[in-house]
Amino acid sequence: MEPWIAAGAERIAARAAQELERFVAVSSPSGDVAGAEAAFEVAISLAPVEARVERAPCSSPAHADDLILTLAGTGSARIVLLGHVDTVISHEDHRPLERDGGRLTGSGAVDMKGGDVLALGVLRELARMPERFGEVALLLVCDEEWRAGDFAHTDRFAGYDACLCFEGGELTPDGEEAVVVRRKAAGTLRILAHGRSAHSGANPDLGANALLALAAAAQAVASRHDPGGSAHLTAVPTVVRSGDAFNVVPSAGELLCDLRADALETFDDVLGSLPASVDGVRLEADLLRRWPGMDARGPTAALLAAAGERLGRPIRGTDRGGASDASYLAPVIAVTIDGLGPLGGGAHTPQEYILESSLRTRAEVALALVDAALD
């Protein structure tokens, strides 16, 4: 391993657990302005003093402004580091960080405040060598978990030399370091049912049952599920709401489905396959969100090989089904790599954790990738 990578990773790891404790102590569910501001205050306090602090409008309305920390250098390469501070955990269910053997357990630990800590550490290390780059920016957003619209920052970073995103890391089945270079597109399908109410005991046949129509729609969506097919489509009904009383034919309802595939266009085929009505109930379908896919296998192959040489062990590119903000920047930054965060598990659950030992090893991976990207 190159000496500066080892030294830098040592400095990052020495502070990382304490910094993560500060981050996780802040409850910051998506949409909570006060929580986002508190998380951003932590990030600013951990940034190098050389970093310029910028606030930019968030992609989602009624959210705090996002945070951009920027280092200006005397070189030419431009890199954006990427993370988010929001979680899916409510204030009521928030868990501060706890140590359990080699695990650090707490809300948002792996998704993705552990990655944010590593990204801030990388930023501090780069502040020591401004001659290596023209600009390095760390973008932290506060709406990644529930965003429905477009990404507001794509134009700002279009044409940068590399994007490194710090979502949770992983290893290959053989135990080698892995990063994410391919992600599926993701969509949230919403189906609204417009039926007709009636007394469920006296005259149920005068009604048009929205709940039954949504059940039929759910079956239609599930019938398109084909993860082994050419589009690798997963189509999973996840939430249904209908009915207000046990003795009334439900007149309205809503069905939500999670869609994942190699390309966004596959979701249009699912929409087109749905019936317009079922037994007198009109169905209205649309996509609440469309997250693009990401395939950076080709543009990142040489960089992964070069970074592995610097690291002294291989770094393998892998696939992941979950969505990430990296997918929005991949179309405008060819070298986009995700999954640089620490190892862990249990994302979106009360048992969310990271492995403390991976703070050092994944800092090494991140610094090796940065080193290769700057050449």
**Pair 53, 151 in one domain:** yes
Tens digit of each residue's pLDDT (9 = 90 or more) over 260-291: 999 999 999 999 999 999 999 999 999 988 88
**Pair 191, 165 in one domain:** no
Q: Tally the domains of the chain.
A: 2
pLDDT at 149 over 90: no
Tens digit of each residue's pLDDT (9 = 90 or more) over 61-98: 999 999 999 999 999 999 999 999 999 999 999 999 99
Q: Residue 166: CB partners within 8 Å, gap ≥ 6?
A: 81, 82, 83, 112, 115, 116, 118, 119, 340, 341, 366
**Pair 111, 246 in one domain:** no
- Are 372 and 310 contacting, i.e. CB atoms less than 8 angstroms apart? yes
Segment 223-232 mean pLDDT: 95
**Pair 13, 30 in one domain:** yes
**Pair 198, 90 in one domain:** no
**Pair 227, 300 in one domain:** no
Tell me which residue range forms the domain holding 175. 3-184+293-374
State how far the Cα of 104 lies from the Cα of 101, in Å rounded to an integer.
Answer: 8
**Pair 276, 332 in one domain:** no
- Token pair of 353, please? 């954790």
Q: Which of 290, 310, 341 is the last residue of a domain?
A: 290
Residue 304 is predicted with a pLDDT of 98
Q: What is the pTM of this model?
A: 0.90
Segment 344-354 mean pLDDT: 95
Q: What is the DSSP string of 195-255?
A: -B--BTTT-GGGSB-HHHHHHHHHHHHHTT-BTTSTT-BEEEEEEEEE-S-TTB---EEEE
Pairing of strands 78-84, 162-165: parallel
CATH number of domain containing 345: 3.40.630.10
Residue 360 is predicted with a pLDDT of 98
Residue 289 is predicted with a pLDDT of 86
Percent of the chain with pLDDT over 70: 100
Residue 140 is predicted with a pLDDT of 98
**Pair 137, 37 in one domain:** yes
Of 304 and 146, the one with more pLDDT: 304
